[in-house]
Amino acid sequence: MMIDINKHVSNFELTGTNNLQFKLSNYIGKEVVLYFYPKDSTPGCTNEGIDFKENINKFNSNNIYIFGISRDSIKSHENFKKKYSFPFELLSDSDEEVCNQFDVIKEKSMYGKSYKGIERSTFIINSKGILSHEWRGVKVPGHVNEILKTFNL
């Protein structure tokens, strides 16, 4: 079931880097940016993470929390986070439960082969737990700046 804009987002739990047991309900009263990305250590995903990293102070100083989500393992996430010194946690959704909740698993094609993968997408969940903004089919260049503009930062 897909989440609609201006609707409450059901609580979910995921394991994250730095031994985080993420629960969405723990962030009521705070703004949360969830960015779903296809795969650790690939060029687009690396650039997207770096863009968030370079702007993290703007987010943090406004009580906005950034979390990256992919289907990669925690071990892969830990290596990716360490290699690029990401100052935010990466969440593992290996069973695709949250990916399906946000409807980001799409049919993709590479080298003529079809497969299911994560469509790069970003969601803002406001302090009341309501989905306030979404971007689907994200192109990395300029995307983090679009998010900052949404927050008037």
Over range 118-130, report the average pLDDT. Answer: 97
Over range 5-26, report the average pLDDT. Answer: 96
Kind plus residue range of the DSSP H or E element containing 119: none
Residue 107 Cα distances to 67, 73, 103, 119, angstroms: 24, 21, 12, 9
Scored b (16 or more CB within 10 A) or e, 7-24 reads eebeebebbbbeeeebeb
Contact 15, 74 (CB under 8 A): yes
Range list of β-strands (E), the chain: 13-16, 21-23, 31-36, 64-70, 89-92, 105-110, 113-118, 121-125, 131-136
pLDDT at residue 2 tops 80? no
Helix axes 74-84, 43-54, angle to 10 degrees: 60
Homologous superfamily (CATH) of 21-150 is Glutaredoxin (3.40.30.10)
Q: Is 5 helix (H, G, I), strand (E, B) or coil?
A: coil
pTM above 0.85, yes or no: yes
pLDDT digits (tens, 9 = 90+) for 27-69: 999 999 999 999 999 999 999 999 999 999 999 999 999 999 9
- Tell me whether residue 99 is one of the annotated catalytic residues: no
Catalytic residue among 14, 32, 34, 45: 45
Mean pLDDT score of the chain, rounded to an integer? 95
- Give the number of residues written for the chain: 153
- Look up tokens 């970003």; give the residue: 122
pLDDT digits (tens, 9 = 90+) for 103-115: 999 988 878 888 8
pLDDT at residue 1 tops 60? no
pLDDT digits (tens, 9 = 90+) for 78-102: 999 999 999 999 999 999 999 999 9
pLDDT digits (tens, 9 = 90+) for 142-153: 999 999 999 999
